[in-house]
Amino acid sequence: MKKLGMLLFVVASLAMVFTRVVLAADSLAEIKKKGVIVAGVKDSTPPFGYIDEKSRQLVGYDIDIVNAIAKKLGVRVELKTVTSASRMPQLQEGHIDIIAATMTKNAERAKVIDFSHAYFLTGQKFITRKGSVKNLKDLEGKRIGTAKGSTSEQNVKKAIPTATVLSFDDYPQALLALQQGKVQAVTTDEAILAGILSKTPNKAQFEIPNLQISDEPYGLGMRKGDKNLVSLVNKTLLELEQSGEAARIFSKWFGPTTQFHLQRTFKITAAK
């Protein structure tokens, strides 16, 4: 009986390895065959991925970028919600084909998954009660909220080692903790902080001091070795830059007609 169990275990493990190898081999062909690309996106990170109050649809910058890629491929998009902590496992287990979820492209993550060229640039800051924080010293020994599995969590521990970092499933929960006085600051990428603050009823009580602790370039995540999909995605991103479409998408979510008035300080290039 023990032997049979062992045999089943070995067969199951081999099947899993085989599925992963096949999945990694050519998602692009698979996506074209199925006529659908499954994208992992955020659902409470305005304006990157969130549920629009009127249409009840998932919308945002990340979603428009995925839609543009799907258009190029001539396939439909299916959106699945991910969190910062779940996005890499979801991809590796084959539940999604691509991550478009405010994800920083860095060397550590690139050991596990492949990234597209960077398609957005931001940097890590804090939300605090107005006037409470002038420099990083003011955050020493304080409680700071962020999201599990994010670079924000790692960066803040390095930047302010004396702080107690509380990691939530997502950023809105961290902001709630700030409103309730359970943490003294929330930290993540500035563009995300500005987005969640804009949806907060008592936003006038808070601010984002000009204290940046890192650069965060976003990449689209794909399975390691998924060469054809990565090159199609990169080609599309460069075309979107050339045609002005990437700038239009930026402007739609961050430009002068929005509450953010952000300048586009980056271009999508093959170098990043």
Contact call for residue 187 and ligand GLU (CB under 6 A): no
Report the amino acid identity of residue 23. L
For residues 132 and 183, the answer to whether their CB atoms sit within 8 Å is no
Contact call for residue 88 and ligand GLU (CB under 6 A): no
Subset of 43-62 contacting ligand GLU (CB under 6 A):
none
Contact call for residue 175 and ligand GLU (CB under 6 A): no
Residue 64 or 216: which CB sits closer to ligand GLU?
216
Token duo for residue 1: 């009986």
Token duo for residue 5: 């169990």
Q: From the list 67, 128, 150, 167, which residue makes contact with ligand GLU (rule: CB under 6 A)?
A: 150
Closest CA to 25 of 205, 191, 217, 225: 225
Contact call for residue 127 and ligand GLU (CB under 6 A): no
Q: From the list 27, 44, 67, 84, which residue makes contact with ligand GLU (rule: CB under 6 A)?
A: 84
Residue 87 or 223: which CB sits closer to ligand GLU?
87
For residues 207 and 178, the answer to whether their CB atoms sit within 8 Å is no
CA atoms 71, 73, 79, 84: torsion sign: negative
Q: From the list 44, 86, 90, 104, which residue makes contact with ligand GLU (rule: CB under 6 A)?
A: 104
CB of 170 to ligand GLU, least distance (A): 8
The window from 29-37, 96-104, 172-180, 264-272 that contacts ligand GLU (CB under 6 A) reads 96-104
Contact call for residue 147 and ligand GLU (CB under 6 A): yes
Judged on CB neighbours under 10 Å (0-12, 13-18, 19+), 27 is buried
Contact call for residue 151 and ligand GLU (CB under 6 A): yes
Contact call for residue 155 and ligand GLU (CB under 6 A): no
Contact call for residue 184 and ligand GLU (CB under 6 A): no
Subset of 204-223 contacting ligand GLU (CB under 6 A):
216
Residue 28 or 86: which CB sits closer to ligand GLU?
86
The number of beta carbons lying within 10 Å of the beta carbon of residue 181 is 9
Token duo for residue 32: 């074209």
The window from 95-103, 159-167, 174-182, 203-211 that contacts ligand GLU (CB under 6 A) reads 95-103
Closest CA to 17 of 27, 5, 9: 9
Closest CA to 175 of 148, 212, 200: 200
Cα separation, 60 vs 64, in Å, equals 6
Q: From the list 62, 97, 114, 189, which residue makes contact with ligand GLU (rule: CB under 6 A)?
A: 189
Please tell me whether residue 52 adopts helix, strand or coil conformation: coil
| Residues at the interface with ligand GLU (CB under 6 A) | 84, 101-104, 147, 150-152, 188-189, 192, 216
